[in-house]
Amino acid sequence: MRTTVAIPGAGPAGVAAAVHVSDRNIEPLILEQGSQVAIAVREWGHVPMFSNRRFNFDAIAARRLERAGWQRPDPNTHPTGADLINGYRDPLGGSLAALLRLGQRVAAVSRDGIGKVRDAGRGAAPFVIDTVGPNGPETFRADAVMDATGTWDQRNPGGAGRPVPGEEGHPMVSHGMPDIRGDDRARLIGRRVGVLGGGHSAIGNLIALAALPGTRPIRLCRAQSAARALGGGAADQLSARGALGVEMAQLVAAGKVALQAGFRLAAIEGTGPVCAGATDGQCAEMDALIFSTGFRPDLSILGELCLSLDPALECSPALAPLIDPNLHSCGTVRPHGAAELSHAEPGFHTAGMKSCGRAPTFLLATGHEQVRSTMAASGCCCGQALDRVVACCIADEAAKDCGRAGCDCAASQPEQKAAACC
C-alpha cells in the first residue's frame, strides 16, 4: 500500500480521490492552483448538466458527508454546475479543508534523483512535485501520484489542432460556454453570433442564443453533417442529452439557427463585423464568435515521467479504444479503472477529464469509478468497503451481509477469494 498519495487538482475527480485516500487512513496531499475546490465547475456554474444527480455523487464521498448530517438531494433531478457546487462539492471540500493546499500550481512532477531515462530503482524513488504558490516555489514528495488537474485551462484552438491567424487575443472571440442568459446576455442579444464546434457544448450555446430576442445564431460545423452531435433523441441513454439534440434539430428546421456544415476555419479578420474565413473560401460574417471546440491535457508538467500515451488521444493506450470519440459518446464508455489508467511510470495514474486526453467522452460517474478502482487496486484485494467499521473491503462487506464470516482476504488463490465472497 502506498503511504503518501499526491493529488494535483481539487476538481470533482481530485476531491473524490482525496476522500478515498483519507478513508484508508492515509493523508492525501491535495495541490490545487485555485483559491477553492472545483474552480472549473464554477466557470460553467450556469450550465445545466445532462446527467442527473445519481451519477454525480461518489459513494464513499456521499457516505462521508452523510455522517456529518448532509442530506442527499433528489437523485433524479438535473443540477446546474452551481447546484453541484452548493449541494455537494463545497460541503465535501469543507470536510477536507485541513488537507487542502490552495494556490499551488503544479509546475513539474518527477522522480527524486532519477531522470527519465533511468529505470534502476525507479519504482522505489519518491515522486517530487514542484509547485509555485503564495510563498514562491515549493517542493513536495509522495509515494504515488494521481493527476486530476483536468483540461479546462487547455482549450482546443479553432484550426486543425492549432490557432488560426487572428484568433489569439481577438476581442470578439470567447471560449467554452459563456453565461449567455446571464452575465453575457447584454453583449450578445440582438447580434449575429457564430458557434464553432460539433459537440453538446456548442449545441447548448446555440439553444441559449436562440432564446435571446433578435439574436441570430450561426452554427459552424467542421463535419459535413451535424447529425452525429444531435445524439439519440428520445432513445438517448441520457434523456436530457437527447432532448438537447431534439431541440437543436427543431431550431435548425425552423430557421432559428443557421447551419454552415463542412466549415473548417482558416482565419479571423476584422472586429465589427468579424469575418470567419474557411479553408474552402467560405466567409461567415458575425458580430461575435464562440469556440466550443473542446479541450486537451497539459502534459508539459509530466515531461520527466515515463508515460504510455495513445498517439492520437493522448490518454493511456488501454483506455483509448474505450473512449474513442469516433466510435463512442460519453454514454457508451464502459466503466474502467486501474488497469486502463496505468502508465509505464510505477505509482502514477491520471483520473477525471485528464485521463481521457483529447476525447470528450467523459461523465462524472466515470471519474468516480476510476478513483474507486485505482484505490482498490493499491490496497485490499477486493476494493473499498462502504462501512469500514465491520468490513475491510467491498467483498468482505457483501459476504458479511449474507451471513458469512467474510471474504477471507488472506486466501492466496483468486478462486478461493471468489468462493469466500457472496
In this predicted model, what pLDDT tens digit does every residue of 253-288 receive, in sequence order? 999 999 998 999 999 999 879 999 999 998 999 999
pLDDT digits (tens, 9 = 90+) for 34-69: 999 999 999 999 999 988 898 899 999 999 999 999
pLDDT digits (tens, 9 = 90+) for 111-145: 999 999 988 889 999 999 999 999 999 999 999 99
Q: Return d(Cα 219, Cα 193) in angstroms, integer.
A: 9
Is residue 17 predicted with pLDDT exceeding 90? Answer: yes
Distances (CA, A) of 133 to 14, 22, 105, 321: 19, 24, 6, 38
Residue from 134, 145, 152 nearest 8 by CA: 145
Q: Region 371-379: what's the mean pLDDT?
A: 82
- Choose from 77-81, 127-131, 223-227, 383-387 the range with maximum mean pLDDT: 127-131
Q: Return d(Cα 113, Cα 106) in angstroms, integer.
A: 19
Q: Return d(Cα 241, Cα 20) in angstroms, integer.
A: 30
- CA–chain centroid gap for 381, Å, is 28
Give the pLDDT of residue 413. Answer: 36
Query: What does the block give as the cell for 144?
Result: 504515488
Total-model pTM: 0.85
Domains of the chain: 5-153+295-378 (3.50.50.60), 173-291 (3.50.50.60), 384-422 (no CATH)
Contact 83, 46 (CB under 8 A): no
Interaxial angle between packed helices 239-253 and 200-210, expressed in degrees from 0 to 180 and rounded to the nearest 10: 50
